[in-house]
């Protein structure tokens, strides 16, 4: 569920009209619902409650400090994939939040930084990384806790660019060799193989892959313990799907049903790393129509949000629902099916100002006739929207707003032209 709804043909976020936010903060604008963020975190907490899980919010999905701080205030730790994300997690707090460090290319400096700041666990993705962590830990005179990330080699289950547990991807240790890698560090004075990690990709709309992965995980934990590793953590990652098209996503309890038996059988501490599931449906991207045109038999809506603001459609061919913020009474207030033929609409491409043919938010989408100045809402944009935004074409990144009930506040100001060049060395001086 989310807290974006139409009332009398005006889109609201919680109790605030989105048009009011656009007028106050400008466009393009990311708008987040605090109630939705907390709801989805709590859904996971409740579904897995019997295992007393450590839920580490995935900073890469949306690392805004206000959102991360909200997660920490409601009991979450953090999943990070770089030193910069680790720093964000620390700034968000609380000071005792558990931080899990994933990613295939951790530098020695990042490893040292994490160890200095009491990282809870490294998710290890290769044999060389395992030994690199051991070497840094030895120089520092500390013990590094690691979870071996295994690629369970499951059938394809999501987009090829976000499926991380099929044969041949860069992530994790092959399931055929992970035990040999683990055997090589038995008795290592500065490494503790404390866990097994398994992230299957994202977004996943079926619980079956988690069942298959968890079953393989149980067998591997048994073998790791036989080798002498005191494995106490089972990290099943994240990847739970969300509503992009209709109501296609599963409740968190469906995933819990498949994962919890493995937790019980192994007696491990469960760690989860959700990001999209929490923040995806909690955010929208609001844009304003700049121009419309018809050419080559196609109709275009040119609005002020572009691929630099939301790259998912260009990068993944992803679908986001799009509808006017204040739809006229000639069309449905909110369609039940955005992919069907909708009375009062015509097929149009929704594109941005970026100088690329690949700059689009939707193609051949059923939309009402739109005019210069009208507002559009791009739904389910909270995850991997602002997090992947860029300054391509020297465009200033959007502002971000958090809505709490009937109030709203700026949580990231809109960039300025000065910001675009602030970090560059002026060679003319």
Taking only the tens place, the pLDDT of each residue in 163-193 is 555 667 788 898 899 999 999 999 999 999 9
> Is the pLDDT reported for residue 405 higher than 70?
yes
Residue 347's pLDDT band, with cuts at 50, 70 and 90, is: very high
Reduced to 3 states (helix: H, G, I; strand: E, B; else coil), residue 240 is strand
* Predicted local confidence at residue 376, as pLDDT: 98
User: What angle in degrees, to the nearest 10, is found between the helix axes of 65-73 and 34-47?
Assistant: 40
- Output DSSP code: residue 45: H
Quick one: which of 397, 399, 416, 418 has its CA closest to 408? 399
Is the pLDDT score of 429 beyond 70? no
Rounded to the nearest 5°, which phi and psi values hold at 326? -130, 80
Indicate whether 159 pLDDT > 60.
no
65 φ, ψ (degrees, to nearest 5): -60, -35
Return d(Cα 219, Cα 205) in angstroms, integer: 25
Burial of 10 (0-12, 13-18, 19+ CB in 10 A): middle
- Is the pLDDT reported for residue 259 higher than 70? yes
Per-residue confidence at 154, pLDDT binned at 50, 70, 90? confident
> Alpha-carbon distance 92 to 115, whole Å?
18
Chain mean pLDDT for the chain: 95
pLDDT surpassing 60 at residue 143:
yes
Is 203 among the annotated ligand-binding positions?
no
Percentage of the residues of the chain whose pLDDT score is greater than 90: 90
User: Residue 93: CB partners within 8 Å, gap ≥ 6?
Assistant: 69, 72
Please indicate if the annotation marks 152 as binding a ligand. Answer: no
At 15 the pLDDT is 98
- Taking the chain, what is the end-to-end CA distance rounded to the nearest angstrom? 55
197 close to 217: Cβ distance less than 8 angstroms: no
Task: Give, in order, the Cα–Cα distances in Å from 106 to each of 83, 112, 124, 275, 424.
Answer: 8, 10, 9, 20, 26
pLDDT at residue 73 greater than cutoff 90? yes
The DSSP secondary structure of 162-197, one letter per residue, reads TB-SSTT-SSSEETTTHHHHHHTTTT-TTEEEEEEE
Give yes or no for residue 160 having a pLDDT over 90.
Answer: no
Q: Please give the average per-residue pLDDT across 116-125, as a whole number.
A: 97
**Banded pLDDT at 268 (limits 50, 70, 90):** very high
What whole-number percentage of the chain has pLDDT above 70? 96
How do beta strands 54-58 and 99-101 pair? unpaired
pLDDT confidence of residue 200: 87
- The residue-averaged pLDDT of 367-373 equals 97
Residue 268 bears catalytic tag: no
Structural domains in the chain plus CATH codes: 4-31+280-421 (2.40.37.10), 34-278 (3.20.20.10)
Closest CA to 106 of 64, 134, 78, 68: 134
Q: Is 280 annotated as a binding residue?
A: no
239 labelled ligand-binding: yes
The predicted structure's pLDDT at residue 168:
74
> Is 384 one of the annotated binding-site residues?
yes
Phi-psi region of 168 (alpha: psi -120 to 50; beta: other; left: phi over 0): left
Closest CA to 201 of 213, 185, 190: 213
Tens of pLDDT, residues 193-218: 999 999 888 788 899 999 999 999 99
Which one of the listed residues 192, 268, 355, 427 is annotated catalytic?
355
> Which tokens belong to 23?
């007028």
What integer pLDDT is reported at residue 425 of this predicted model?
Answer: 84
pLDDT for 123 beyond 60: yes
- 288 assigned binding-site residue: no
Q: Has residue 368 got a pLDDT over 60?
A: yes
Ramachandran angles phi, psi of 61, nearest 5°: -65, -40
Beta strands of 200-319 (E only): which ranges?
A: 233-235, 269-272, 283-295, 298-303
User: Under 8 Å CB-to-CB from 97, ≥6 apart: which residues?
Assistant: 72, 76, 77, 78, 89
pLDDT of residue 382: 98
Given a cut of 80, whether residue 162 has pLDDT beyond it is no
- Average of per-residue pLDDT across 138-163: 81
Q: What are phi and psi of 103, to 5 degrees?
A: 115, 145
Contact of 288 with 303, CB cutoff 8 Å = yes
């Amino acid at each position: 569920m989310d807290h974006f709804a139409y009332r009398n043909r005006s889109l609201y976020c919680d109790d605030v009209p989105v048009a009011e936010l656009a007028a106050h903060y400008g466009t393009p604008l990311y708008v987040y619902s605090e109630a939705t963020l907390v709801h989805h975190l709590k859904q996971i907490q409740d579904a897995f409650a019997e295992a007393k899980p450590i839920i580490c919010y995935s900073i890469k999905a949306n690392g805004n400090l206000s959102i991360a701080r909200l997660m920490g205030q409601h009991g979450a730790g953090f999943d990070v994939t770089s030193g910069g994300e680790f720093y964000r997690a620390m700034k968000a707090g609380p000071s005792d939040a558990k931080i899990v460090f994933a990613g295939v290319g951790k530098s020695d400096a990042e490893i040292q930084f994490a160890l200095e700041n009491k990282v809870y666990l490294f998710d290890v993705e290769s044999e060389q990384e395992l030994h690199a962590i051991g070497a840094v830990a030895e120089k520092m005179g500390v013990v590094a806790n690691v979870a071996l990330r295994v690629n369970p080699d499951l059938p394809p289950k999501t987009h090829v660019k976000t499926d991380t547990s099929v044969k041949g991807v860069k992530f994790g240790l092959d399931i055929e060799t992970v035990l040999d890698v683990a055997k090589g560090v038995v008795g290592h004075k500065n490494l503790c193989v404390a866990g097994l990690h398994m992230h299957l990709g994202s977004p996943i709309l079926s619980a079956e892959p988690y069942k298959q992965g968890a079953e393989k995980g149980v067998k591997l934990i048994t073998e790791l313990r036989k080798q002498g590793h005191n494995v106490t953590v089972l990290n099943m990652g994240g990847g739970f799907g969300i509503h992009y098209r209709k109501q296609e996503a599963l409740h968190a309890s469906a995933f819990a049903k498949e994962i919890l038996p493995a937790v019980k059988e192994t007696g491990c501490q469960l760690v989860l790393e959700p990001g999209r599931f929490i923040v995806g449906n909690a955010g929208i991207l609001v844009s304003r129509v700049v121009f419309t045109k018809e050419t080559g038999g196609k109709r275009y809506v040119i609005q002020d949000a572009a691929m630099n603001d939301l790259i998912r459609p260009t990068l993944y061919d992803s679908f986001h629902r799009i509808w006017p913020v204040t739809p006229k009474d000639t069309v449905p207030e909110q369609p039940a099916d955005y992919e069907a033929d909708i009375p009062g609409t015509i097929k149009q491409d929704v594109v941005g100002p970026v100088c690329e043919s690949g700059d689009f938010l939707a193609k051949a989408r059923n939309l009402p006739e739109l005019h210069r100045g009208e507002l559009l809402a791009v739904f389910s944009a909270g995850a991997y929207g602002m997090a992947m935004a860029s300054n391509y074409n020297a465009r200033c990144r959007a502002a971000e707003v958090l809505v709490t009930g009937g109030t709203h506040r700026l949580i990231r100001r809109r960039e300025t032209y000065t910001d675009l060049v602030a970090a560059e060395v002026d060679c003319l001086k």
